[in-house]
Amino acid sequence: MSKSFLSPPEITSAIISMGIARGNEKNIIKTLVSGFVAGMFIALAAIGNTTASQTLAQTFDVGFSKFIGACIFPIGLMLCVFTGSSLFTGNSLLSLAFLSKELKFINLVKNLIIVWIGNLLGSFFTAYLAFYAGAFNSPIIQKIFLDTGLSKINLSFSQCVASGFFCNILVVMGIIMAMGSNDATGKILGCWFPVMLFVLSGYQHVVANMFIIAVGKILSPENFSLVDIFINHFLPTSIGNFLSGGIFLPLFLYFSYYKRNSTKYFKINKKSFL
């Protein structure tokens, strides 16, 4: 009878295997498309989040409104996990393969840059397509996206870094928990709890914010300059996301569980994904 979940060392091995496969992918278009699709999934989850919670803050309770939205948003990560599509935040875990000397630094950087661009393109594409599809026709939804987008670009550099750090602790833990499960139900629950917590807490996720800010730019272009978007928000949020998902947690797993000479450590197929 097979186990329903992997041990922490086995999860560490699976992450390294994923890093080898994704980091050494030579087809740039494939990596870009994988990022594009993941950006779309997160954007669609953000639409569902906002639609579900749009009036609850005014008619019932602010905390409950955030919770309902937070219950919807993890679907975006679930879609990424079950399709193997790539998020910048999740792919920051590829650093573990670099730490274990199984992935070259240049390949790690290349993958993260391409995936980041793919996430951005997917987010902006979904924002424009959803706009023309009428997803933002409601004045309430327009106000939520506009206010949220403006609040994000007005955060200080240090706030974005700190909030991004906490965000990706939870997102990456969602991925780790999903990878640790051997069945679909476990993967779904593994994604749901940590991501729900990050959304409820209001931390900064660069890919989700790509979509939110893109919608704000569509609705009120004069209030969103490229400097505000890319330099004042995307840059520090990406740094914060990477500090936790690409440095802090990989170092924890590396020093806690990695065994360089363990033959059983790489039983998992090195071409496997999530």
Domains of the chain: 8-258 (1.20.1080.10)
DSSP string of 148-213?
HHHHHHTS-HHHHHHHHHHHHHHHHHHHHHHHHBSSHHHHHHHHHHHHHHHHHHT---HHHHHHHH
pLDDT class for 58, splitting at 50, 70, 90? Answer: confident
pLDDT of 273 > 80? The answer is no
Look up residue 193 and give its two tokens.
């709890």
Average pLDDT (233-247) is: 99
Cβ(149)–Cβ(216) below 8 Å? yes
End-to-end Cα separation, the chain, in angstroms: 22
pLDDT digits (tens, 9 = 90+) for 65-100: 899 999 999 999 999 999 999 999 999 999 999 999
The SS3 of residue 5 is strand
Cβ(126)–Cβ(39) below 8 Å? yes
pLDDT digits (tens, 9 = 90+) for 116-171: 999 999 999 999 999 999 999 999 999 999 999 999 999 999 999 999 999 999 99
Looking at residue 37, its pLDDT comes to 99
pLDDT class for 46, splitting at 50, 70, 90? Answer: very high
Average pLDDT (5-31) is: 94
- What's the pTM? 0.93
Looking at residue 261, its pLDDT comes to 43
Look up residue 118 and give its two tokens.
């793919």
pLDDT digits (tens, 9 = 90+) for 216-231: 999 999 999 999 999 9
Higher pLDDT, 272 or 111: 111
pLDDT of 268 > 70? The answer is no
Look up residue 270 and give its two tokens.
């090195």
